[in-house]
């Protein structure tokens, strides 16, 4: 009996689910099971790796790995000229009646998740990472297996400093750099340091990243909101806030996607000098700008007043949990002390691995690759939104992995998001990012109703379907909004 390796039938031999873990393992397990229970009989010829990769819409290398593994395990055999066939295993091989089987893409559509902030997880350069960890493990001097330098690996500090200067137009030396386990940890250490140095209040963007007010309060600071408009943080309102510290996302505001305008940048620096203040720059995704060069780091404009915080959560993957802080000398020692007391250090081998990735050019190569993926997705998103919602609805820079979708006036953001969820699309309303006071109140935002679309981890097919569903959900909730959520 011959297997029909075509598409679309009900009997699935191999079906991949992109949300259910590594594709290689899924395909391997299903083929192995099909051979074991004789849905694939001895002698059956498998499609070429290229053909199966096309049918399953996966990378050819994934299928090559699967075949190699099953060849090694004895489930498959390969002879020159006759391709890859199922090997005879056990006594009953080939005798049982088998139903015709087909390969098909999964029949029910995968949910679409426009969650903010997730990079393309299928593009994480795992083989480069595993090379780097292995190399770091082989080359780390024995003495370095003890406690790390309190500020972090010297190698990595030098490498990220060079990167910050080269890519972000920053102005720092390795002495200013402290390695941390991601941006959030660096932020917590920096805020605790401000609190200990008598800076009791911090201004935060409204709307802004979700947990920043909570992190600030936990560090012992009072958090106050400052509105964001189309040019970024309103520096006039910052002046009136009475704060001497501010935390912001100047290169690409989270979540509105705007850039801090040039006069606001200058004004912000002037404000910091006037109040003897400090600016915390969350520099989380500036590597990804598709229409022009990204604006440089604020830290380069005034290194004495800016604490810049970077991370590889967007560029590589959130799970790597590494980031850095560039701090003026008056704060650096305090931040290092917070680090020492809370965690003693960041994982040393991973720091060396990241340094290796960066200094060998693998990190830049990866950035070039994913930048093209995101640029294509952002272009497609703009086209789909224009088609479904009309012109001018997609807002925010052509940058990063998120954009703002302005809904028709009077729409209910939450209504649209809830309706979309019932149709398999997850998305956050802009109000999700509003500043919330300690007693749970939130002032209305000065933005029209909008949704925040994270497109980093949404492939093109999902993106098209997701936008069409959002348009249907928006039609249902186009009436006058109830009170602004």
Ligand X SMILES: Cc1ncc(COP(=O)(O)O)c(C=O)c1O
Told to check if 183 binds ligand X by CB under 6 A, we report yes
Q: Comparing C-alpha atoms, which of 300, 208, 307 is closest to residue 253? A: 208
The rounded distance, in Å, linking the Cα atoms of 463 and 109 is 12
| DSSP3 helix / strand / coil % (the chain, rounded to 5) | 45, 15, 45
DSSP states of 369-384: HHHHHHHHHHHHHHHH
Nearer to ligand X, 234 or 282 (CB): 282
Contact 451, 404 (CB under 8 A): yes
Q: Comparing C-alpha atoms, which of 135, 112, 125 is closest to residue 19? A: 112
**CA angle (372 as vertex; 368, 375 as ends), nearest 5:** 130
Nearer to ligand X, 208 or 296 (CB): 208
Told to check if 254 binds ligand X by CB under 6 A, we report yes
Cβ 413 to ligand X, closest distance in Å? 20
Dihedral angle, C-alpha 476, 480, 481, 482, nearest 10 °:
-120
Cβ 450 to ligand X, closest distance in Å? 17
- Which of 41, 152, 209, 348 binds ligand X (CB under 6 A)? It is 209
Cβ 402 to ligand X, closest distance in Å? 8
Check residue 399 and report its DSSP letter: B
- Phi then psi for residue 309, to 5 deg, are -125, 125
Told to check if 38 binds ligand X by CB under 6 A, we report no
Cβ 305 to ligand X, closest distance in Å? 20
The rounded distance, in Å, linking the Cα atoms of 159 and 174 is 8
Cβ 314 to ligand X, closest distance in Å? 5
Q: Comparing C-alpha atoms, which of 457, 467, 404 is closest to residue 430? A: 404
Q: Which pair of tokens denotes residue 427? A: 């998305």
Nearer to ligand X, 254 or 298 (CB): 254
Told to check if 428 binds ligand X by CB under 6 A, we report no
Nearer to ligand X, 317 or 419 (CB): 317
Told to check if 184 binds ligand X by CB under 6 A, we report yes
Cβ 37 to ligand X, closest distance in Å? 44
Told to check if 252 binds ligand X by CB under 6 A, we report no
Told to check if 314 binds ligand X by CB under 6 A, we report yes
Task: Return the range that interacts with ligand X (CB under 6 A); candidates 179-187, 237-245, 297-305, 375-383.
Answer: 179-187
Cβ 172 to ligand X, closest distance in Å? 18
Three-state SS for 408? coil
Nearer to ligand X, 284 or 435 (CB): 284
Told to check if 315 binds ligand X by CB under 6 A, we report no
* Residues 319-338, interacting with ligand X (CB under 6 A): 323
> What b-and-e string marks burial along 85-94, b requiring 16 or more CB atoms within 10 Å of the CB?
bbbebeeeee
Told to check if 168 binds ligand X by CB under 6 A, we report no
* Residues 104-133, interacting with ligand X (CB under 6 A): 117
Residue 324, strand partner residues: 179, 310
Told to check if 311 binds ligand X by CB under 6 A, we report yes
Nearer to ligand X, 65 or 285 (CB): 285
Told to check if 318 binds ligand X by CB under 6 A, we report yes
Nearer to ligand X, 294 or 415 (CB): 294
Task: Return the range that interacts with ligand X (CB under 6 A); candidates 140-148, 167-175, 313-321, 369-377.
Answer: 313-321
Cβ 61 to ligand X, closest distance in Å? 28
Nearer to ligand X, 75 or 284 (CB): 284
Told to check if 227 binds ligand X by CB under 6 A, we report no
Check residue 102 and report its DSSP letter: B
Nearer to ligand X, 49 or 351 (CB): 351
Contact 479, 140 (CB under 8 A): no
- Which of 44, 281, 282, 413 binds ligand X (CB under 6 A)? It is 282
Contact 326, 177 (CB under 8 A): yes
Check residue 45 and report its DSSP letter: B
Nearer to ligand X, 116 or 447 (CB): 116
Task: Return the range that interacts with ligand X (CB under 6 A); candidates 20-28, 51-59, 180-188, 298-306.
Answer: 180-188
Handedness of CA 234, 236, 240, 245 (dihedral sign): positive
The rounded distance, in Å, linking the Cα atoms of 141 and 274 is 48
Q: Within 13 Å, how many C-alpha atoms sit on residue 480's CB side?
A: 1
The rounded distance, in Å, linking the Cα atoms of 470 and 82 is 49
Cβ 285 to ligand X, closest distance in Å? 7
The rounded distance, in Å, linking the Cα atoms of 145 and 132 is 17
- What are the residues binding ligand X (CB under 6 A)? 117, 182-184, 209, 249, 254, 282, 284, 311, 313-314, 318, 323
């Amino acid at each position: 009996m011959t297997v029909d390796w075509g598409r679309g039938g009900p009997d699935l031999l191999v079906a991949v689910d992109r949300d259910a873990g590594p594709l290689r393992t899924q395909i391997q397990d299903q083929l192995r099971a099909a051979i074991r229970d004789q849905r694939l009989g001895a002698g059956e010829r498998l499609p070429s790796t290229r053909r199966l990769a096309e049918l399953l819409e996966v990378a050819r290398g994934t299928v090559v790995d699967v075949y190699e593994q099953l060849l090694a395990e004895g489930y498959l055999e390969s002879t020159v000229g006759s391709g890859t066939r199922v090997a005879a295993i056990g006594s009953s091989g080939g005798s049982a009646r088998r139903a015709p089987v087909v390969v098909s893409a999964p029949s029910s559509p995968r949910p679409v998740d426009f969650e903010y902030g997730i990079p393309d997880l299928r593009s994480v350069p795992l083989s480069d990472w595993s090379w780097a960890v292995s190399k770091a493990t082989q080359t780390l001097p024995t003495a370095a297996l003890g406690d790390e330098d309190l500020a972090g690996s010297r190698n990595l500090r030098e490498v990220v400093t060079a990167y910050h200067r080269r890519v972000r137009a920053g102005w720092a030396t390795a002495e200013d750099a402290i390695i941390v386990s991601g941006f959030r940890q660096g932020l917590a250490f920096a805020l605790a340091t401000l609190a200990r140095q008598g800076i009791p209040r911090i201004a935060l963007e409204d709307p802004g990243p979700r947990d920043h007010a909570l992190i600030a309060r936990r560090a012992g600071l009072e958090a106050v909101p400052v509105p964001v408009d189309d040019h970024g943080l309103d520096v006039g309102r910052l002046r009136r806030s009475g704060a001497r510290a501010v935390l912001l996302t100047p290169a690409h505001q989270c979540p509105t996607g705007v850039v801090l305008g040039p006069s606001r940048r200058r004004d912000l620096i002037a404000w910091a000098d006037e109040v003897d203040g400090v600016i915390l720059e969350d520099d989380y995704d500036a590597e990804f700008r598709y229409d022009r060069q990204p604006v440089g780091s604020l830290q380069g404009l005034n290194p004495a007043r800016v604490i810049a915080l970077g991370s590889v959560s967007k560029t590589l993957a959130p799970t790597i949990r590494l980031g850095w802080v560039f701090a003026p000398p008056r704060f650096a020692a305090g931040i290092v002390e917070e680090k020492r007391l809370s965690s003693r250090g960041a994982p040393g081998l991973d720091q060396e691995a990241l340094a290796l990735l960066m200094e060998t050019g693998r990190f830049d190569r990866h950035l070039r690759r994913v930048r093209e993926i995101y640029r294509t997705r952002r272009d497609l998103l703009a086209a789909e939104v224009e088609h479904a919602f009309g012109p001018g609805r997609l807002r925010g820079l052509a940058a990063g992995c998120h954009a703002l979708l302005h809904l028709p006036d009077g729409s209910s953001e939450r209504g649209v998001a809830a309706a979309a969820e019932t149709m398999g699309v997850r998305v956050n309303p802009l109000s999700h990012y509003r500043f919330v006071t300690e007693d749970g109140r939130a002032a209305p935002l000065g933005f029209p109703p909008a949704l925040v679309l994270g497109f980093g981890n949404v492939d093109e097919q999902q993106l098209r379907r997701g936008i069409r569903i959002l348009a249907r959900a928006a039609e249902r909730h186009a009436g006058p909004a109830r009170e602004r959520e």
